[in-house]
Structure 1
Amino acid sequence: MDFFSYVKSILFLAVFSLFTTGCAQTGLADRYREYFDIGVAVSTSDLSEFEKSSIVKKHFNSLTHEFSMKWSQLEVKPGKYEFEMVDQFVAWGHEHGKKLVGHTLVWHKANPDWLFTEDDSNLSRAKLLARLEKHISTVVGRYKGKVYGWDVVNEAFGYDGTFRKSPWLNIIGEDFIERAFEFAHAADPDAKLYYNDYGLVHKSKQDAVVRLIQRLKSKGIPIHAVGIQGHYSLTYPDAKLLDEAISRFASLGVEVMISELDVSVLPFPGPEERGEDAEINNLRAAELDPYSGALPTDIEAQLADRYQELFCVLLAHRASVNRVTFWGISDAESWRNNWPLPERMDHPLLFDRNLKPKLVVERLLHLADEGECKES
């Protein structure tokens, strides 16, 4: 080989290396960009840690703050707001070009103690509505043009399709949802507004949310998407049920998001989704917490298979699905370690406790390149 041929071969290898390295470093968000956004729930502290923030920068283009935008965190005392954590979250997101989702404005949980009372008595409807409007106007208004979309109302229905019993319902009545959407739209007319809930593959609950969307639309109240929380397991739900739920909501003219995705690998002693009605049985602790050490290779493979199955459904609905948000960066911080039993070790997310990618990451990257799932 002469000198010039040698130089040409070295240059070719260098360019090839750069190309392949760049492909290997492409994250989930880039690979799924033409299909839907890939999001993640974070805390402000996550974004200040180098390894976690590096994962977020690489793999996700949408961020939801898991805790600090809830009412109890923002307004501990009436009129006294603590925006520092959220301001940092918003600033970091904009610096790195991420879409930001506000979570959540109205929920039956995470409310400050003072919210529903006055002088130790329950508030009137008018006064609670005034507090709701002021809070939404203050929070949404502060981040107008900075937060892309809001989970306006979260988890307002039970599995049977009836309204969840809450102070919002008891004091204001069933139209508290309508008022919340109206207040949010007034505070930022350009923001996307969402209803978010779990269990939406179950018909009765799904029916209730369908009626809600139809009612809001009939009154000209903006609602842009429904968030299907994806707190799933290796076997629940049947992928066909998710497929049918997405189709039904999309037929109403709203977009669909999988807003809180994680897949538990643990056995469940009760209902396999977020809720308050889990019935703990007499199974031994060892049976309920089988992977307190490393996740076995065969179970990790099952987890990858399950995520692939779910993403096959989502890719088939790419025209309707606008975002898929994983509920946490790594297994270490997942809420699933403590529900429905505390101190179990679950492994539901894309990255393990050492922030190393699991097999599922490679599988989803490959699936994005294919763009669809081949039938077996």
Structure 2
Amino acid sequence: MKAALLVVIFFTMFGSQAQTEPDGSSLAGADLQLKELFADTFYVGAAMNRRQITGEDGPAIDLLQRHFNSITPENVMKSERIQPREGEFAFDLADAFVAFGEKNDMHIVGHTLIWHSQAPDWFFTDKQGNEVSAEQLKQRMETHIKTVVGRYKGRIHGWDVVNEAILDDGSYRESKFYQILGEEFIHLAFQFAHEADPQAALYYNDYSMANAGKRAGVVKMVRTLQEKGLRIDGIGMQGHVGMNYPSLDEFEKSIVAFSDLGVTVMITELDLTVLPSPGNRSSAEISDTKAYQETLNPYTQGLPEEVSAAFTQRYLDFFQLFLKHADNISRVTTWGITDRHSWKNNWPVRGRTDYPLLFDRDYLPKPIVKALAEYLTDN
């Protein structure tokens, strides 16, 4: 984006006419648009939950339309939601999601076709409850992928075809897909998706992608796909990050390693937790003890000034890294729109108050938004 245009946007965003609208204009003036700030670099996306897809969360929809130009569904396209019983597809929410993206001229991502964590049990068992054969699982995968992808052929721009198949040490996750089919399940998923819509971009998506072992495992897996002549267009690096992890250096190594494969890189599920890790007590209730609650849920009334400042700097550091590699990064998607509905409030223990996104619980932009505008203006 040209410097003169950035200056105009910056003045409009942070001039004296601050407002308190639920559309994200409180800190930034009526014409703030994150998507315009990054127009010459990458898509700026957000994940949509059910209430946003149905239009129930009006203020979040206003933010989404103003600031973002790419959308991903949080849950409504996962296999247990879209085909809860064999042969019974529930497309109502997925249809609404795609229609919203089309109405607003957005880049639309389908998430996700094959994932062990939210796959229905019927996928892997027959009517007697026995594990299905390899041929049965192949047939079910093909039917599911081709039905879903085929329904949105030419409408969804890219698909997270396989999600979270590699462990941190680089080995394959021992999911039911892997136990029955081995690594072939990944090859088949990409093959079936391409056959269903040859024009759609196809992605692999995973977390902890700055981990050296996982980096090596993903690189090896992608090279295998490429050697077999299978189509893969991008790698999604889930950006579930904390104040002290991962290191920017390791994150950058993965961006470079994945880019060197000749595919695009996407930051797919960006959120930044300020809360401490529960360690071995991740399954405990937050209300177990008062001390435990205070330790793991320290900011119930908002972030202290010094924590907010550190949060802003940490987010800015990541965005500076993304901008450094903008030639190889096609999209940065936050996993949610505001702190109000982020999954991080309830994971890995329920009842916590977290602040992981760019917009707060009142649908207003945080200081990081201003910091991004200032950085882009100066650079």
Provide the TM-score with structure 2 as the length reference: 0.88
Q: State how far apart, in whole Å, the 1-side matches of 2:175 and 2:247 are.
A: 30
- Checking the alignment, whether the CA contact within 8 Å between 2:13 and 2:32 is kept in structure 1 is no
Q: Does 1:45 align with 2:51?
A: yes
Residue 115 of structure 1 aligns to a residue whose secondary structure is helix
Letter in 2 for 1:334: S
Q: State how far apart, in whole Å, the 2-side matches of 1:270 and 1:260 are.
A: 22
State the partner residue of 2:170.
161
Q: Which runs of structure 2 are paired with 1:1-376 in the superposition (5 Å)?
A: 24=29, 25-47=31-53, 48=55, 49-118=57-126, 119-270=128-279, 284-371=292-379
Letter in 2 for 1:256: V
Q: State how far apart, in whole Å, the 2-side matches of 1:317 and 1:289 are.
A: 35
- Checking the alignment, whether the CA contact within 8 Å between 1:300 and 1:358 is kept in structure 2 is no
- 5+ residue gaps in structure 2? 1-10, 18-24
State the partner residue of 1:9.
none
Letter in 2 for 1:117: T
Aligned-residue offset at 1:298? 2.0
Aligned-residue offset at 1:228? 0.4
- Checking the alignment, whether the CA contact within 8 Å between 2:12 and 2:32 is kept in structure 1 is no
Aligned-residue offset at 1:19? 12
Q: State how far apart, in whole Å, the 1-side matches of 2:216 and 2:295 are.
A: 36
Q: State how far apart, in whole Å, the 2-side matches of 1:151 and 1:260 are.
A: 12
Q: State how far apart, in whole Å, the 1-side matches of 2:37 and 2:153 are.
A: 29
Larger RCO: 1 or 2 (CA < 8 Å, sep 6+): 2
Q: 1:183 to 1:284 in 2, by over 3 A?
A: same
Count residues in correspondence: 351
Q: State how far apart, in whole Å, the 1-side matches of 2:205 and 2:255 are.
A: 13
Q: State how far apart, in whole Å, the 2-side matches of 1:114 and 1:213 are.
A: 29
Same amino acid, percent of matched pairs: 41
Q: State how far apart, in whole Å, the 1-side matches of 2:12 and 2:326 are.
A: 33
State the partner residue of 2:3.
none
Q: State how far apart, in whole Å, the 2-side matches of 1:366 and 1:17 are.
A: 12
**1:172-209 CA distances to partner (integer Å, 9 max, x unpaired)?**
11110000000000000000000000111111111000
- Checking the alignment, whether the CA contact within 8 Å between 1:270 and 1:279 is kept in structure 2 is no
- Checking the alignment, whether the CA contact within 8 Å between 1:31 and 1:369 is kept in structure 2 is no
Q: State how far apart, in whole Å, the 2-side matches of 1:95 and 1:354 are.
A: 26
Q: State how far apart, in whole Å, the 2-side matches of 1:126 and 1:42 are.
A: 35
How much is the aligned-residue C-alpha RMSD, in angstroms?
Answer: 2.2
- 5+ residue gaps in structure 1? 1-15, 272-276, 372-376
- Checking the alignment, whether the CA contact within 8 Å between 2:212 and 2:250 is kept in structure 1 is no
Q: State how far apart, in whole Å, the 2-side matches of 1:279 and 1:142 are.
A: 39
**1:337-370 CA distances to partner (integer Å, 9 max, x unpaired)?**
1222211111101111111111111112222333
Aligned-residue offset at 1:140? 0.3
Q: 1:120 to 1:56 in 2, by over 3 A?
A: same
- Checking the alignment, whether the CA contact within 8 Å between 2:158 and 2:201 is kept in structure 1 is yes
